[in-house]
A = this chain, B = another copy of it.
Amino acid sequence: MGSLSDIGLAAGINILSALGFLLAFAILRLQPINDRVYFPKWYLKGIRNSPRHSGNVVSKFVNLDFRTYIRFLNWMPTALKMPEPELIDHAGLDSAVYIRIYLLGRLKIFVPLTVLGFCVLVPVNWTSKTLENAQEVTFSEIDKLSISNIGQDTQRFWAHVVMAYVFAFWTYFVLYKEYKLIASMRLHFLASEKRRPDQFTVLVRNVPPDPDESVSEHVEHFFSVNHQDHYLTHQVVYNANKLASIVEKKKGLQNWLVYYENKHTRNPARRPTMKTGFWGLWGKTLDAIDYHTAEIEKLSKEEDAERERVISNPKSIMPAAFVSFKSRWGAAVCAQTQQSSNPTLWLTEWAPEPRDVYWSNLAIPYVELTIRRSLMAVALFFLTFFFIIPIAFVQSLANLEGIEKVVPFLRPVIEVQVVKSLIQGFLPGIALKVFLILLPTILMTMSKIEGFTALSALERRSASKYYLFLFVNVFLGSLITGTAFEQLNSFLHESANKIPEIVGRSIPMKATFFISYIMVDGWAGIAAEIIRLKPLVIFHLKNTFLVKTEQDREQAMDPGCLEFASSEPRIQLYFLLGLVYAVVTPILLPFIIVFFSFSFLVFRHQIINVYNQQYESGASFWPDVHGRLIVAMIVSQLLLMGLMSTQRAPQSTLLLGLPVITICFHSFCKGRFEPAFVKLPLQDAMVKDTLERATEPNLNLRDYLKYAYIHPVFHSDDIEHPLAIEEEERNPLVATKRNRSTPGDSKYASETSSDINF
């Protein structure tokens, strides 16, 4: 590959496959039976009802209205129609801002860059004759359009230097505007959102042990003294990890019970049986329904005992608490200040949304945190640079001879020539593929070990890790062939100013490779996203075997969510490619624009119709996104400098200013906007407090916050809680009738004040 027609052909193939996916999607989504897979968001919102309720039997499952098939692309304009404020209202700020990343990439950065690049750089490159004159070098049209074609004609490099500066300043401008807009969107969102428990609540960690008081009493006393005018109430955190696992296990068994009961209903003649051994493969044969009922009963008892133990045993109370204040102002003050003279005790931070809390990490002491983070930094280093070693080891084990040795009875099958070559062709790739599929999970686990307490923080942290991995192994790994470890080694042995040259030199040569990468991974990959193959299959399986009532069907839906941790770093890779090639090989830019436009369309459709976000962080990920864009800019500028100095262009030193300016720009933006994503300004808090006091003078905040931060296992079976709270809000003078008398409840409550319970 390499010539323009080759790339055109590849583009055609990829466009066709993308269209194939879209066609499949168009057909699948029109079938009523798939309605819950492709429109779960509307079901969750209670707006859409199953189309299967009406019509004849066949039309319950298959759409027979052929007119709808003709307009199979009509979801696209629909996806674009919803205006942004409505989108924020419908899907949350996180999703709306996430979508803006694509818009930023497409319209705001790369379209102007492409136009300028094609007007200025492409003619400059094309009219140079270096490659044509060099007879012995093979080159393609792509190369003719790139900076490689300039050669010794150094006067022409002026165009590239000027364009590098123009591109950089345009990007600064766009990034600044975008950061400003998103900061104000965030503040507006926070200011206009409804009353939420996290606005009044601060998470306190590392409560020091006290010989005379329980954690609850200690917290109560500390905050009534040090925030005497503002402290309202608090909730201690229970270590309910074991209870949660029991509940989880019970749920799994209940699913099986339902499955066997359904089986029995369909075939009442025969009671279903099962085997107790591993995966039901061996062991005693039992009556499945009886067995599961008994097991569930046993677990229920265990659960009750554990629940009792958690609530009554002081040791299961973790040295952390959610402390609530009378006003947003009081909470803002507490979250932003240092409480104790030992800065590792009484650590306060904004409480995450109740949905966003990652409960298991709430009680990690400070010293352990430092150790955990250091260890994970080292682990990340090794994972990034040496991940290939264990994979190579697995690959060396998983060769044909190895398989034949372990499972000798398969030998006749393996020895067949077709199977043999198939295995030999695929096996080496499989270990790597499995690793890459598992990678986001591994990174998320590492972030969990680091001890962050909010899901949103975990996702942000994993995204950083994943970006590092992609940068080293995909971007640098493609530019410099060889494993990451070999790169690291060669970098260590090269001088600092040689590294950009080495990497820079290979940039123009790899343009065609990255174009095809964009088409395969970007175009077709995004089109595959819209079909939702995995949720489709799982929904139909569950629907067939488990669903009995409409509520079961509701639960069988898996709307999924935007996976920030794995998808954002991928977008960043495209930004990086676009910025690096903008000056070098502008022909690459249109492919990136297609990717961004197409992704924008697909994900806008998905967040409107499918995804259901688990939490709402108010776009708190934007500083990370911005930071990685800055990294991409610096990398592109350094590499351009290296590339030009290998071509002996005297102008390359002029580019030295660009990274410096970029760093200044970054530090400016950081100081200007980042606080808006970390702290809540007191002025805004005060405005909301005053407004609320004026409109709802009789609000009973204490009741409102009473059950806000309970570990989910404690209210897993009574989901009416939030509703009850809603009700109270509407009618705040009616005394609450809820009496969740869990055994240990009164114990602590009576000890200090009637409000201290979970």
Contact, CB under 8 Å: B497 / A495: no
Chain B residue numbers with a CB within 8 Å of A491 are 496
Contact, CB under 8 Å: B337 / A337: yes
Contact, CB under 8 Å: A492 / B492: no
Listed A/B pairs (24) with beta-carbon separation below 8 Å: A225-B686, A226-B329, A336-B337, A339-B682, A340-B681, A341-B681, A341-B684, A343-B673, A344-B672, A346-B683, A366-B671, A366-B672, A367-B668, A370-B667, A370-B668, A374-B660, A374-B667, A378-B660, A492-B495, A493-B495, A493-B497, A493-B498, A494-B495, A495-B496
A675 to B341, CA, bound (A): 9
Contact, CB under 8 Å: A672 / B343: yes
Chain B residue numbers with a CB within 8 Å of A682 are 226-227, 337-339
Chain B residue numbers with a CB within 8 Å of A332 are 337
Chain B residue numbers with a CB within 8 Å of A495 are 492-496, 498
Contact, CB under 8 Å: A679 / B370: no
CB of A537 within 8 A of chain B?
no
Contact, CB under 8 Å: B496 / A341: no
Closest to A227 in B: B682
Q: Report the minimal beta-carbon distance from A229 to chain B, rounded to whole angstroms.
A: 7
The B-contacting residues of A in range 357-381, CB under 8 angstroms, are: 366-367, 370-371, 374, 378
A370 to B672, CA, bound (A): 10
| Interface residues as binary, A322-337 with B (CB distance below 8 Å gives 1, 0 otherwise) | 0000000100110011
Contact, CB under 8 Å: B226 / A343: no
A226 to B329, CA, bound (A): 9
| Interface residues as binary, A480-514 with B (CB distance below 8 Å gives 1, 0 otherwise) | 00000000000111111110000000000000000
Chain B residue numbers with a CB within 8 Å of A674 are 343
CB of A286 within 8 A of chain B?
no
From B341, B493, B679, give the contact of A338 (CB < 8 A): B679
Chain B residue numbers with a CB within 8 Å of A561 are none
Q: Report the minimal beta-carbon distance from A216 to chain B, rounded to whole angstroms.
A: 19
Closest to A184 in B: B341
Chain B residue numbers with a CB within 8 Å of A344 are 671-672
CB of A131 within 8 A of chain B?
no
The B-contacting residues of A in range 527-567, CB under 8 angstroms, are: none
From B333, B339, B343, B494, give the contact of A337 (CB < 8 A): B333
The B-contacting residues of A in range 439-498, CB under 8 angstroms, are: 491-498
CB of A28 within 8 A of chain B?
no
| Interface residues as binary, A646-684 with B (CB distance below 8 Å gives 1, 0 otherwise) | 000000000000001000100110011111100111111
Contact, CB under 8 Å: B339 / A681: yes
CB of A187 within 8 A of chain B?
yes
- Knowing that A226-B683, A333-B337, A494-B495 are A-B contacts, what are 11 other residue pairs whose CB atoms are under 8 Å apart, sorted by A's residue number? A226-B682, A341-B676, A341-B683, A343-B676, A343-B679, A370-B664, A370-B668, A370-B671, A492-B497, A493-B495, A495-B498
| Interface residues as binary, A218-237 with B (CB distance below 8 Å gives 1, 0 otherwise) | 00001001110100000000
Chain B residue numbers with a CB within 8 Å of A664 are 370-371, 374
Chain B residue numbers with a CB within 8 Å of A336 are 336-338
Q: Report the minimal beta-carbon distance from A622 to chain B, rounded to whole angstroms.
A: 14
Q: Report the minimal beta-carbon distance from A220 to chain B, rounded to whole angstroms.
A: 15
The B-contacting residues of A in range 683-706, CB under 8 angstroms, are: 683-684, 686
A684 to B491, CA, bound (A): 51
Q: Report the minimal beta-carbon distance from A581 to chain B, rounded to whole angstroms.
A: 27
A329 to B367, CA, bound (A): 28
Chain B residue numbers with a CB within 8 Å of A686 are 225-226
Q: Report the minimal beta-carbon distance from A414 to chain B, rounded to whole angstroms.
A: 43
Chain B residue numbers with a CB within 8 Å of A374 are 660, 664, 667
Q: Report the minimal beta-carbon distance from A669 to chain B, rounded to whole angstroms.
A: 10
Of A371, A494, A674, the most chain B CB neighbours within 10 A belong to A494
A519 to B679, CA, bound (A): 53
Chain B residue numbers with a CB within 8 Å of A683 are 222, 226, 339-341, 346
Contact, CB under 8 Å: B338 / A675: yes
The B-contacting residues of A in range 123-137, CB under 8 angstroms, are: none
The B-contacting residues of A in range 105-159, CB under 8 angstroms, are: none
Chain B residue numbers with a CB within 8 Å of A222 are 683
Chain B residue numbers with a CB within 8 Å of A497 are 492-493
Chain B residue numbers with a CB within 8 Å of A366 are 671-672
Q: Report the minimal beta-carbon distance from A488 to chain B, rounded to whole angstroms.
A: 10
The 6 tightest CB contacts between A and B, nearest first, are: A343-B675, A374-B664, A338-B679, A336-B337, A370-B668, A492-B497
Chain B residue numbers with a CB within 8 Å of A684 are 341
Closest to A491 in B: B496
Q: Report the minimal beta-carbon distance from A493 to chain B, rounded to whole angstroms.
A: 5
Chain B residue numbers with a CB within 8 Å of A378 are 660
Closest to A229 in B: B229
| Interface residues as binary, A729-747 with B (CB distance below 8 Å gives 1, 0 otherwise) | 0000000000000000000
A341 to B673, CA, bound (A): 9
Chain B residue numbers with a CB within 8 Å of A494 are 495-496
Chain B residue numbers with a CB within 8 Å of A329 are 226
Q: Report the minimal beta-carbon distance from A111 to chain B, rounded to whole angstroms.
A: 29
A672 to B370, CA, bound (A): 10
Q: Report the minimal beta-carbon distance from A175 to chain B, rounded to whole angstroms.
A: 15
Q: Report the minimal beta-carbon distance from A71 to chain B, rounded to whole angstroms.
A: 45
Q: Report the minimal beta-carbon distance from A685 to chain B, rounded to whole angstroms.
A: 9
A119 to B333, CA, bound (A): 56
A336 to B344, CA, bound (A): 17
Q: Report the minimal beta-carbon distance from A666 to chain B, rounded to whole angstroms.
A: 10
Q: Report the minimal beta-carbon distance from A281 to chain B, rounded to whole angstroms.
A: 48
Q: Report the minimal beta-carbon distance from A193 to chain B, rounded to whole angstroms.
A: 15
Closest to A667 in B: B370
| Interface residues as binary, A18-41 with B (CB distance below 8 Å gives 1, 0 otherwise) | 000000000000000000000000
Q: Report the minimal beta-carbon distance from A618 to chain B, rounded to whole angstroms.
A: 13
Q: Report the minimal beta-carbon distance from A483 to chain B, rounded to whole angstroms.
A: 19
The B-contacting residues of A in range 618-668, CB under 8 angstroms, are: 660, 664, 667-668
Closest to A493 in B: B495
A346 to B672, CA, bound (A): 12
Chain B residue numbers with a CB within 8 Å of A339 are 681-683
Chain B residue numbers with a CB within 8 Å of A187 are 341
